[in-house]
Structure 1
């Protein structure tokens, strides 16, 4: 039974934290809700940073989770620009701010997110080396792309993951020259495997992006504090004016680790280990969003999911669990991307080595198709490219675990619903 005098503290002001605070109020919690955010911006969603906002098509306000006035209207105590530096699990307090403020909690949610992995090479301190995670990063990068496009400048991107490719597309839209350096043989290799990764190679090459596969950046060369070139481990040198590090993100676990909470191992993506209710090894502390590594019964493994939908759904799931509701967080991983005229959605989990074939439904040449990653006749993941309103049946097909006729799966004239028992 939740007492109206209880205090729930949320550390992390991203989408997961803000949606958790909203859910507590929607579910009728009348106690104290404290949301502590180390950024000075009101909680916002991150996809626009590499999409609409970076392209100059969306304003900052459009990315906000709630209007700024919403927090006071819903009696959410919002502390912006404050960093939590310690959790005392015995006293059940969190300490934050330069003045050492501490507050007691009855339940605590850690939604600390992730941070960009840094290039561990000489030259990263030069002006013109960028990361993309926060509004300040996106604003700076948008200005850089504007100047590069105007002056025929050159951007080198380390990493051909989602952020790297979306920024490459944005940079080309501004007119900048782009080279992407990637260790794997294709873009998105760890997510889509080689079969579909090649599609994104062709998409970007058609727009003038150059790829350098099978290599990594070993040094960023500069003069007078400015970037001049990026060197790779195979002896190549790419003259450029700016470098973006897009080599993934690391879960922000320092606070949890210092508090003695159990962490997930690197094989599962790291992060804070939680159960199916998003509860940590401390029964009064929960974790959600990019930092949480949860067991997924459908795939029989732990997953740490860094995408928007996991934060959107994980924050509310954790909030309900904190209120004592019967919660099982087992949403399918889902993400989306927009690059040039290609829009796509992906559901499921099928890393390279986990499937035995990829089934294409539609016309991959025209980039209007669905792709299914299949093992022993069972669909593990599905991606729709420029084909819409199919996410629900795709996800139901994955969840069913049913063996399907792959010829029927590949036939656009066979309704997906008919393949679901």
Structure 2
């Protein structure tokens, strides 16, 4: 018997749907897909803890039995109290399935219940069966505590949908910035870190792949540490002394010579340094356990983009706060009031950190896409790595040398860099087995 019914609670209302998997109206023959994405699933849930494509119930005509398969090993389901992260398990009438925070009960009609299975030919594929049914209005007298205090009924969604942490961090940072008034160095540090993390958070959310916070700190901290070690000195010597990458003192030499200098001295040199943490994490993922590879390694392009952007953020913060801002403040203070020097330093800090979204984070994130692609398709590893390295270095050099052409070239370089990054993110989501390619 291929008919069954699913029942669950949603928004305080009991939902129920009946299905016959022998009918050719579902995404896959003899199968029913469950999740949050209406384009991929036959039954759609609003629960944010449910994956976009989470599980599949399949009918086996030969044995006349149903089975359920978890399609997201990083988000296990529970079948009659037993966790199922991979593989399939047989289900029957009365089985309880838990997807995220949603509990679903499976029921089947009695064996003597006769159903006319004849159906006319289906000319069009009906739209997916969604769980979004308007709930029955509660009586006026049915008033709960959450009506008076909405937070009491939405605290779980507040945490799961990512609204809580950014807001709390912003409040804490504002308090810290208030307490740092009169101390320009501390204020600049707090402002730069907040703006930098806000830009990185944008890229991270666009990728739609979760990574533990401590893992993201590895490339963020490793890159500035490498900048302070002989590793950077050796890289800079090779590209800026042996190769024609000496950074000129001014941009009056013309665009082409300036571009060549920045291509070797800034593009190739700095993108290589920022990629070192990504290569290290990729190596740790290859030699570690599958669980370690999932959390720490570079298994796909999305991993490379996230780690590359984190590395670019670390580079930007150290370069801005450790070199550009102090040098500018010291230079202006020799000719003007120290307060004016601090103001000019702040005017440089804000666009440099905000611009890192299409600057250092974009360059290294774009190169990270190719590093992840080389892990996903190792047969063409060197082709992917060379392509990503040269493009990232080229757009980096174009940005640095565009001042010789004018502000229009500066804007064009930023737009191109941002578009390259977004294109890489969208393509990486298409290639990812864990993330829906559906646009935000």
Q: Give the TM-score category using the shorter length.
A: under 0.3
The structure in which a higher percent of residues are helix is: 2
The structure in which a higher percent of residues are strand is: 1
Answer 1 or 2: higher relative contact order, Cα 8 Å, separation at least 6.
1
Task: Tell which structure's C-alpha radius of gyration is larger.
Answer: 2
TM-score (norm: length of structure 1): 0.26
